[in-house]
Chains A and B, each alone.
Chain A
Amino acid sequence: MSARRLPEGPDEAILRDRPVTIEVDSKLIHCFEGDTVGSAMAVGGITITGRSFKYHRPRGLQCMTGNCPNCLVTVDGIPNVRACTEPVRGAMKVVRQNAWPSVGADIHGWLNFWSFMMPPGFYYKVFHRPRWAWHAVEPLIRSKAGLGFAPEEEDHRTRERISLHADVLVVGGGPAGLAAATEAASAGANVVLLEQRREAGGHLLGEPGGRVRAAGLVSAATDVGVKLLSGTAAFGVFDGPIVAGWNPDALYRIRARHVVFATGAIEQPAVFPDNDLPGIMLSSAVDLLVNRFRVLPGRKAVVLTASDGGYGTAESLQRAGASVRVVDLRGEVGPTPTMAGLAPVLGATILRAHGRRRVRAVEVGPPGASGGRKIPCDLVVLAGFAVPSTNLLSMTGAKVEFDDHAQAFLPVDLPPTVHAAGAVAGSRTTDGAITQGRLAGLEAAAAVGHGSAAASERVGLLRLQAAADGDPVVLPPETGLGKGKQFACLCMDVTNKELKFAVEEGFDSMELLKRYTTITMGPCQGKGCMLASQRLCGKATGHTLAETRPTTARPPWTPVELGTLAGERRSPRKETTMHDVHVDAGAEFMWAADWRRPHHYSTPGREVEAVRQRVGLIDVSTLGKFRVKGPQASDLLERLYPNRFGDMKIGRVRYGAMLNDEGVILDDGTVCRLTEDEFFVTVTTGNTAALERWMTWWLADWGLDLRVLNVTAAYAAVNLGGPDSRKVMEKLTDADVSKEAVPYMGCVPMDVAGVPSLVLRIGFVGELSYEIHFPSMYGEHVWDATMEAGEEFGIEPFGLEAQRILRLEKQHVLVGQDTDAESDPYEAGLGWMVKLDKPDFLGKRALIDLEAAGPAERLVGWTADPSIVPPEGSSVVHEGVWVGRVTSARRSATTGKTVGLAWVPAGWAQEGTHFDIQFGTVTIHATVALKPFYDPEGTRLRS
């Protein structure tokens, strides 16, 4: 065991029977379960935990609570882990950061001596003349910037997103938060408690005897049903208020009717020359190291305090075997601290520190003195300068006002559903915090309907007790004495001098200073530098602390892993009920909206040939399918479509396109009349959800008597197409499938392969074809039966690519591909379906004008030499000027040409017009063809 490890103590939280060995920069450290990487480094005698961001100065443990930037390390490849709060695990590999070759001998340490060249914003000022200089220097600066290295490997950890709803949410699991949660839950409220650290208890965890007290408070809370989320940090408050929290496994979104903020206070360092030396720590860190982890961080300590609190730390150190001197800012000390043997130096402060790789001595004297007494030491403890942690409260809309007694900004004007308790509200004793916590818990519970007469009585009583407590706060001087860097901001390496210069340059407010010098913008987000920055800003501008308000609080208050915010990879992926059959058939798949659809099975060319010559089968289950049923079903369709549907006979199919009131085409599909008051409507695959919204929206507005039901998933569908498709159908059904019984644009219910189906005679591919809709559970059965029945006719399955060629050969428009958000039916060649003599339909008013004006552009078919296929999106040009674009283009083996669709000036929509298509440096000649390229009279699909 290391000599630095202290013998067992009453408050220790390490398991001495469970040894763990970790590796820090190839040094093995033997520690125990319960240690953190930070306490293990202290046990191993590692005082330099990393190098600073800009000047590469040695830095050591400062806060032990995960606030300061000093101990950011890389753990098993993950950068910027806070060593002080990261629990040790066996075989952990820890690498200290921002130094090369090692933190002990960092060659970039020279930067410290060139700091005069690098004031804040230096990159705006130097190396800009001559112009090439910046290009030479910038990569160097960039390579030096930043902390740690992003891991190369993909992150496979699971991170959930969890939404919680509670009556009362308590943020912060210190004495105040635990008391608030316990009271609220006892009153009957449903309570969630968020605690950033792995163990609740707040500052009690470092105090002698505090661990037992904390455990009591925790079990009191959990006994009454408080849902305690420890190790989960609240990092932001959003409109609602919704509190966002995270831990490595999950992102929490918590909506509570009332929120109690018991976020505590954060100890602040003091500013004096070389105040960043390793060995200069906050009392919270020393309390935790000595009492919780049982490791002595130094043998000769100087404790700077301005309250009785520092004496507790001094006593702990003394009991652990260190020699301690207390420096008390107060001129006289009351009778309470009976500091036997501590012999405080009264009315004095630390003027400066000495040392290079860790603190060796401090100079002590009255504030403002020109010199002081040098006290040798290897540990400096800064005790009792804490700032209420109001950031999350500020995000709720609460204001902060300066309080003279506390010398701090305290929350005022809380929103009606927000409460504050404990140190964040100005309390500075444990008992005071608990009183405030109880009060807040009772009030919150009462506000959500869990009050009682007895509770109101207690609220009155607690209000009397919950007045501000503690002695008036004394702050150390803004700065120390002499040369040497005095750091206001450890994260970004900003000194008092640099802040002063920045103010002289005109950046004379906190918000400007923040943006210019980057103070409060580092990993600590102002936790350890806001107060010092405010005071130095105030000093330089001649304002008091009260007049120098903190900067606006914004999320994230604590650092959040990007992976947590990104969450798990979830992209919807839909498969039809025939998917496995396609896989077995060797299909290549592609995305079609959220669906996986076969692109091709053999080759698109072969599949096209099969459909044109024999017979082919395609899975079209992804089509959006709706049943529109009710007495006014035809009225709805009459209003949704420009087509006429009222006169449609039962058993007929009509092609239609839906428009919006701008007259723009939204979607196209087929409408079948099943009975007098029921229709079956299909829409484009990718538009299904949007069309459902569209149709139900108008239905809600018009209040017609019918229902629209999305049955996309309930029905599977296949399209059996090709000259031999009737022969295949005859084998699959006993029903009559002749031209007379199932005519073109007819629909007939019948059993297909024993499955009750709806068969539509439509011709998207331009051949005799049957679109068969049936309950989706029979997908594989119908597919297999059809393929088997078609075998003797040479049936081939075909994919989306073949279908696209087939439809293009027929000039069938694909809405969304050939049309866009400005295409009206007249331009798209669908004017024939518009019945302006109907009383009203969506788009009618706009179409009246559009028809009168006549189209400016037209969507036309074109053919070109088969040797080249222009990419979709190619330009249509006229005398070198862009006049239109190609929306579809494919090589058509059937016609022996390249064929396509394009938008061209309306005047060109004449059979045989020649025009040029340009892409890159290539120009090809195309000819307008207004009729389908294949079977222009449509005899095949009507056969």
Chain B
Amino acid sequence: MTFVIACPNCGPREALEFSFGGETTRRAGPEASEQELAGYLFFRDNVMGRQIEWWLHRDGCRKWFLAERNTMTNQIERTFWPHERGRTA
């Protein structure tokens, strides 16, 4: 895991400074079916290619943000704040 991630707050930093939060998921709310709950808890898309995922700048500003990463090349296509999801996703 040796690539560079551009923290939206701090700029480009080594991936080692960050913690991975996994691909974004749709949380199963209180009304969810059993299947939706299981899907949310235990199943992931495990995309080969571009995926939106959570990252924490652990050794920096300690902010969570989202990154679009190519899982085959570790190329980070873009990074953005969670509140920018609607606009850019």
Contacts and interface: CB of A to CB of B under 8 A. Distances in A.
Interface of A: 163, 238-240, 242, 255, 661-662, 692-693, 696-697, 699-701, 703, 839-840, 844-846, 848-849
Contact of A700 (B32, B34, B63): B63
A692 B63 CA distance: 11
Interface in B27-54: 27-30, 32, 34, 37, 40-41, 54
Given A697-B56, A700-B64, A700-B82, A845 B28 contact: yes
B2 interface: yes
A238 B2 contact: yes
Contacts of B64: 696-697, 699-701
User: Which A-B residue pairs are the 5 nearest by beta carbons?
Assistant: A700-B64, A240-B2, A242-B2, A844-B30, A700-B82
Contacts of B1: 239
24 contacts: A239-B3, A240-B3, A661-B27, A661-B28, A661-B40, A661-B41, A662-B41, A693-B56, A693-B58, A696-B62, A696-B64, A697-B64, A699-B64, A700-B64, A700-B65, A701-B82, A839-B30, A845-B28, A845-B30, A845-B37, A846-B37, A846-B41, A848-B30, A849-B34
A240 B28 CA distance: 37
Contacts of B83: 703
Nearest to B37: A845
A624 to B, nearest CB: 14
Given A163-B14, A696-B64, A845 B32 contact: yes
A849 B33 CA distance: 11
Contacts of A696: 56, 62-64
B35 to A, nearest CB: 12
Given A700-B82, A848-B30, A255 B37 contact: no
Most central of A238, A699, A700 by chain B CB within 10 Å: A700
Most central of B4, B64, B74 by chain A CB within 10 Å: B64
Contacts of B54: 697
A242 B16 CA distance: 13
Nearest to B4: A255
Interface residues of B, number: 27
Contacts of A700: 63-65, 81-82
A696 B56 CA distance: 9
Interface of B: 1-4, 14, 19, 21, 27-30, 32, 34, 37, 40-41, 54, 56, 58, 62-65, 74, 81-83
A636 to B, nearest CB: 14
Contacts of B32: 845
A693 to B, nearest CB: 6
A713 B56 CA distance: 21
Contacts of B4: 255
Contacts of B14: 163, 255
Nearest to B27: A661
A711 B41 CA distance: 31
A240 B5 CA distance: 12
Contacts of B27: 661
A840 B30 contact: yes
A701 B21 CA distance: 12
A163 B34 CA distance: 48
Contacts of A692: 62
Contacts of B29: 840, 845
A472 B21 CA distance: 57
Contacts of B40: 661
A238 B74 CA distance: 13
Contacts of B3: 239-240
A255 B2 contact: yes
A255 to B, nearest CB: 7
Contact of A693 (B2, B19, B41, B74): B19
A701 B3 CA distance: 25
B10 to A, nearest CB: 15
Contacts of A693: 19, 56, 58
Nearest to B83: A703
Nearest to B58: A693
A693 B22 CA distance: 13
A700 B29 CA distance: 17
Contacts of A238: 2
Contacts of A242: 2
Nearest to B81: A700
A849 B37 CA distance: 11
A693 B20 CA distance: 11
Contacts of A255: 2, 4, 14
A219 to B, nearest CB: 33
Contacts of A701: 64, 82
B48 to A, nearest CB: 17
B53 to A, nearest CB: 12
A703 B65 CA distance: 12
A818 to B, nearest CB: 24
A661 B41 CA distance: 7
